[in-house]
Amino acid sequence: MDESLIFELLKQLKEKDLITYFDLKASRTEATTQSLSDLFKQVKKIKVSDGELVYLSDDGEEILCPFVDTAVTDSGWWLSDKIPAPSFDIEQSGNIRMADEAEAAYICTIVAAILDDDAFTMELDSCVKEYDFKTMNGSTTFRELLSSWQDLQSVTINVIVSGAKYAIQNQKKDSELFLLDGLQHEDVAGLRDLGLKIKQINFDYSTGELSPDNVKKLTKIERLQKISERDQVIDSAIANSRFGNLYKVTKLSSDYVSPITKKKILQFCNSEVEKLYSENKALVDKFGDKNGIITKLRRRAIRLATSDVRKQNMLKYVTDKESFKLPRKQ
């Protein structure tokens, strides 16, 4: 599908005053079998040649990835801007477990695409085939798959994983610039520190009581209890931080978008696509069934509206910290 069609339609939301603060990056697609397949196909210029990780320049020259044997972090940084950024929502509207899975799905896809070997692509395909992208869960999770690949203790895999993580961070920084613009340095630092604390809690559990090996030993009830315990620790960290409300603003979901705004956006998506298809019959051959386009456009538009709500509340916080209150669900 031509992304420019979707982008142009999304931009019209601002022109019609349905979106106030337009951040097109916030309209990324959902993680799906198709989005992972599209991502896999985009990894064209990075490959392993004679055991070396190389990048193909525009003139076809093979450029060796530097520092591979001495500094994985530096190699990953070099590789990060050559890896396609995630096209789907990594943050998963603030759901930490699902976000962890989305990140792992992105990294696994990048690793399999670069290594380009059946041993990895078949495992990736098997994981995707039985995966429920709505709940971001499956009989084998992407986090488990990634962990099994990292257990191979391959320098090449470690460099690719590092590069993919940097690519995710680079994208997050772009979104943060949009969202955090106007905050004082103290607020940005406090927000960052709280985010790191929450990330550490998740890391401690994911490598400890909720590690892939330990989870297999737990009953379903015990696993849910451990997840609940972890969530309570995170909630406590947020509640005890004076930047807790600010953090919550960055995680506001579509539940906080006005139903009136949602209705108008959905009506716009339906009517505009219907209009385009009625005026140009060739669109069916070019983009497929209009209902598929409407569905994708609606999902992207609601994500854009959610980002808009976050930005609106961030500006309210900046204007008057003392009296700022979190919005209620609509």
Per-residue pLDDT band for 94 (boundaries 50, 70, 90) equals low
At residue 168, does pLDDT exceed 90?
A: no
Separation of CA 121 from chain center? 21
| pLDDT tens-place string over residues 26-85 | 666 778 898 899 889 888 888 888 888 888 887 778 888 886 666 778 888 888 888 888
* The token pair that represents 106 in the structure block: 């992105």
Percent of the chain past pLDDT 70, that is, above it, reads 94
Find all residues with CB under 8 Å of 59, minimum gap 6, and list them.
none
Average pLDDT over the chain, rounded to an integer: 87
Largest CA distance in the chain: 62
* Ordered strands of the 46-49 beta sheet: 46-49, 52-56, 62-64
Span 168-197, average pLDDT: 83
At residue 2, does pLDDT exceed 60?
A: no
Span 292-319, average pLDDT: 88
User: How far is residue 175's CA from residue 246's CA, in Å, rounded to a whole number?
Assistant: 16
Residue pair 62/56 in contact by the 8 Å Cβ criterion: yes
Query: Which residue, 173, 307, 191, 300, is CA-closest to 242?
Result: 191
User: How far is residue 295's CA from residue 291's CA, in Å, rounded to a whole number?
Assistant: 6
Residue pair 308/17 in contact by the 8 Å Cβ criterion: no
Residue with the larger pLDDT of the pair 299 and 233: 233
Q: 3-state DSSP call for residue 63?
A: strand
User: How far is residue 11's CA from residue 281's CA, in Å, rounded to a whole number?
Assistant: 23
| pLDDT tens-place string over residues 192-211 | 899 889 988 988 888 888 88
Per-residue confidence (pLDDT) for residue 144, from 0 to 100: 93
Per-residue confidence (pLDDT) for residue 271, from 0 to 100: 93
Percent helix, strand, coil in the chain, to 5, is: 65, 5, 30
User: How far is residue 89's CA from residue 276's CA, in Å, rounded to a whole number?
Assistant: 27
Span 118-147, average pLDDT: 92
Per-residue confidence (pLDDT) for residue 256, from 0 to 100: 95
